């Protein structure tokens, strides 16, 4: 992951793009790319172009990685912290096999 983060940093440094990467702008970019990912399934959820889906998924993740970098946080740490919360909100004995929100379990 460190190599990937450094590669993304170099990409942005070389282009002098860091000035555009405020948390607010990166949040917008994540949402826009998530929309592009969703667009791949528009009108037909079954027959999608996997190559296009993977490209849009990568775009979402690239902006997520940049957001974590700008906020100076460790990606694995924040994911694990959130997973700790999710495991408490969705105990296996209550959540297994159903898709209800934790408030309705
Ligand atoms: Mg895209």
13-38 pLDDT tens trace: 999 999 999 999 999 999 999 999 99
Q: What is the structure's pLDDT at 105?
A: 84
52 shares a domain with 24: yes
4 shares a domain with 54: yes
What is the 76 CA–ligand 1 centroid distance (Å)?
A: 24
Number of domains in the chain: 2
pLDDT band, very low/low/confident/very high, at 9 (cuts 50, 70, 90): very high
What share of the chain in percent tops pLDDT 70?
Answer: 100
Structural contact between residues 96 and 62, judged by C-beta atoms closer than 8 angstroms: no
CATH number of the CATH domain containing 61: 1.10.287.1080
pLDDT band, very low/low/confident/very high, at 39 (cuts 50, 70, 90): very high
85 shares a domain with 59: no
What is the 101 CA–ligand 1 centroid distance (Å)?
A: 29
| Range 85-89 average pLDDT | 96
| Range 80-104 average pLDDT | 93
Segments forming the whole domain that contains residue 98: 74-105
Instruction: Provide the 8-state DSSP code for 19.
Output: G
What is the 33 CA–ligand 1 centroid distance (Å)?
A: 5
């Amino acid at each position: 992951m460190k190599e990937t983060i450094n590669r993304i940093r170099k990409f942005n440094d070389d282009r002098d793009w860091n000035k555009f990467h405020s948390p607010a702008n990166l949040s917008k970019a994540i949402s826009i790319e998530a929309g592009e990912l969703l667009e791949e399934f528009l009108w037909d959820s079954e027959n999608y172009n996997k190559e296009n889906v993977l490209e849009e998924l990568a775009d979402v993740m690239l902006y997520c990685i940049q957001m974590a970098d700008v906020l100076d946080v460790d990606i694995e740490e924040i994911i694990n912290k959130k997973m700790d919360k999710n495991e408490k909100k969705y105990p296996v004995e209550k959540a297994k096999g159903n898709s209800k929100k934790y408030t309705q379990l």
